[in-house]
Amino acid sequence: MCLWLLGKDEVKLMSIKIYTKTKHHKSKQHTYIARMYGVIEGPVKDMLLHFPKEFTFLRHESKRSLRPSAKDKK
């Protein structure tokens, strides 16, 4: 699936992969239960920036936000 991002001066193309993934979880009876999950792969920063309503379920932290600030280092 490809999404066209329309900016003020430019048009960008962002590709997103949407598919299902099966994971097997061990039960108490020592058998495995297959569970299917929906997966969305794409540039998270761009998805949140351009489509905030559609991706409100995402919580995203970048490595930059996790680093200590320069004020705290001094």
Write the DSSP symbol of residue 73: H
The rounded mean pLDDT for the chain is 78
Domain assignment of residue 29, yes or no? yes
* Residue-range definition of the domain harbouring residue 45: 14-59
Domain assignment of residue 18, yes or no? yes
Q: How many domains does the chain have?
A: 1
- If you count DSSP H runs as helices and E runs as strands, how many of each does the chain have, helices first? 3, 4
pLDDT of residue 33: 93
| pTM as predicted | 0.47
Domain assignment of residue 30, yes or no? yes
Domain assignment of residue 52, yes or no? yes
d(CA 62, CA 40): 18
**End-to-end Cα, the chain, rounded Å:** 47
Which residue would you say has higher pLDDT here, 34 or 45? 34
pLDDT of residue 17: 85
Domain assignment of residue 38, yes or no? yes
Which residue would you say has higher pLDDT here, 35 or 74? 35
